Structure 1
């Protein structure tokens, strides 16, 4: 069964990007303002300006193009005995296969922005790693979690 990232996740990721970059820009502006008040390092203001230009270019790509690209190229599958997380990018494409028998816990998380969009992140914990499945709508996330947890019940029944 294939799950696609929710369209609402794009708006969620854009708003989270605005908040993250807003904090970085505030810190950068504060350092620039402090440097203008005291001329300890004359060249620091020039360096901060170049960092600001670079961050602006990165901001445009990461906040506006990145979420759309993630929406189009991330997908998740549940097969009979495994979960497959497929993520395609410009440079690297990954396909992670997690056998259901290796999953130790399934958690769902939601921050305050994701709650407004009804977007849930499902975390699959194995012995060696935690795999995030981000951007699922509430229905799919609950179904996804229940389907995986029902396999745990099947294993418990088989061991009796």
Structure 2
């Protein structure tokens, strides 16, 4: 088996994922508040409120603090001459090898939250799938996009 990928995404990616967790938590809390209001009008048991509050706290802790840290710790990538290796996951860790000869194009994407933290993500497209490397610094993303593009051209010429 190949050695583990060595490159890690930016530590700022952890902050970005936590911001996404806050947004997700607000949406979940609004839904749970709506359920709480509905249970009030239907005169349901008071223990339902305790369950709703417990679910809200658990969701907040996992979405903002626990899951982003686990995802960041597991995310690794490596670009080699013959392939790109990705390793990521939350509970189930996936390792993906993308052969350079299969790479069709490489995109760099930067949304408003990533832009605020000077980060970008790279999407590597093959005929069948799109693989993404999230939370790279802008400079690293540009350099990686150029490197993958050059290696994919060389791999295509060799075929």
TMscore range, shorter length: 0.7 to 0.9
- The runs of 5 or more residues in structure 2 that have no matched partner are none
Q: Residues 112, 48 of structure 1: CA spacing in aligned structure 2 closer, same or farther, 3 A cutoff?
A: farther
Match of 2:10 among 6, 13, 16: 6
Residue in 1 that maps onto 2:94: 94
Shift of residue 121, structure 1, vs aligned partner: 1.5
Q: Distance in 2 between matches of 1:100 and 1:53?
A: 48
1:63 Cα deviation (Å)?
A: 1.4
Q: Deviations over 1:113-138 (max 9, x none)?
A: 11111121211122222112111111
Q: 1:156 to 1:92 in 2, by over 3 A?
A: closer
Could you tell me how far apart the structure 2 residues matched to 1:135 and 1:96 are?
Answer: 18
Closer, same or farther: CA 125–49 of 1 in aligned 2, 3 Å? farther
- Given the alignment, which residue of 28, 32, 37 partners 2:32? 28
1:74-107, Cα deviation, whole Å (9 max, x unpaired): 1110011100001265x43221000011112212
Q: Aligned equivalents of 1:54 and 1:13: distance in 2?
A: 20
2:86 alignment partner in structure 1? 85
1:16 to 6, 9, 20: 20
Give the whole-Å Cα distance in 2 for the aligned partners of 1:155 and 1:87: 25
What are the ranges of 5 or more consecutive residues in structure 1 without an aligned counterpart? none
> 1:115 is paired with a residue of what secondary structure?
helix
Name the counterpart of 2:44: 42
Preserved CA contact (<8 Å) 1:5 1:75: yes
2:72 maps to what in 1? 71
TM-score w.r.t. length of structure 2: 0.82
Indicate whether 1:120 and 2:120 are aligned: yes
TM-score between both structures, scaled by the size of structure 1: 0.82
- Matched residue of 2:85: which SS? strand
